[in-house]
Amino acid sequence: MPDNTEHQGRIALVTGGGRGFGKAFGEALSARGAHVVLADIDGDAAAEAAAELTAKGRGATAVACDVADEEQVGAVLREIADRHGGLDLLVNNAGLHAAYNRPFTELGLAAVRRVLDVNVMGTIICTMAARDAMKDREGACVVNISSSAAYANRSIYGVSKLAVRGLTMSFAREFAGDGIRVNAIAPGLIFTDAVREQLSPAEAERVLGEQILHRQGQERDIVEALLYLVSSKASFVTGETLRVTGGFALSV
């Protein structure tokens, strides 16, 4: 049975926390006792997600924040440190996704820069800003969200998620002396409502055909991976990227 008090009293910052994986991560962590700070460029979405949690009697706050904006991120971390005394868990989930998984020449330089600003620089900015607030706190850890696309590298999206894998290893080495573990999750195709709306049946079948496990990936698969990486069970795990792809990543 899961320990529903494992994160009691801990403080978690989830970027991109207003919807999708970020919202699901906030739900799962708060259910286990954490106070979650949901940061999203869409402040209204973050506020709505936080309100759903507080209505259940859980600890949650929302903040509007662009992870590519160093000043905004710094302000969020200072507020967390002032209000809560520090930070235990950072989930670097905010990112640009499906619309950017196209050839460089189709996207153009402006879109390419934006992907790198959010997916790569956003991860760097948030992780560096969080270091002091997380230093020497027992069980402190960072989880970055990469992608199975990092193993194919067919677009700037895949390249950006490959960079996230590299950042995970680099920050793990750099932060180990501060007692901070740093890991990543590389999701495969996860059939969220948004994916079902955007993905053609033919493309869905193509991806499923490249998986070893022939079932659709579910949001809970990624949530369970996160809960493992932030738990005491993973206390000897750092610098790793956990692939949750149904075996898709083995084929590329």
What's the per-residue H, E or C state across the chain? CCCCCCCCCCEEEEECCCCHHHHHHHHHHHHCCCEEEEEECCHHHHHHHHHHHHCCCCCEEEEECCCCCHHHHHHHHHHHHHHHCCCCEEEECCCCCHHHCCCHHHHCHHHHHHHHHHHHHHHHHHHHHHHHHHCCCCCCEEEEECCHHHHCCCCHHHHHHHHHHHHHHHHHHHHHHHCCEEEEEEECCECCHHHHHHCCHHHHHHHHHHCCCCCCECHHHHHHHHHHHCCHHHCCCCCCEEEECCCHHHHC
| Catalytic site residue from 100, 151, 157, 228 | 157
Active-site annotation holds for 157: yes
Instruction: Point out the residues that are catalytic.
Output: 157
